Structure 1
């Protein structure tokens, strides 16, 4: 499960049956980023942890 969360709830959710690889993550980011806004508007900060797919 790859969620994109705000204080008001989900803006995107991507569920895959197996492990998430770099292609799945890239697809999620392509679908999620258009829902985000430029700084300093709401939904303008993207935080990623140290997961290997984030480095692909």
Structure 2
């Protein structure tokens, strides 16, 4: 699994952090920060859910 984010399009909703806190965080401006681009297998479902619930659709998951 490979995760990428488009921080320029992030609106700071924070749903990614709520859904997958081991993979996503927010910077001081409230924008997404990717903690790892290759999450553990145990985070797989949470990352896919974060991609789905992101209102700005800035999360991309491959694999």
Instruction: Indicate the structure whose relative CO is greater, using CA pairs within 8 Å and at least 6 residues apart.
Output: 2
Give the TM-score taking structure 1 as reference length: 0.33
Bigger radius of gyration, 1 or 2?
1
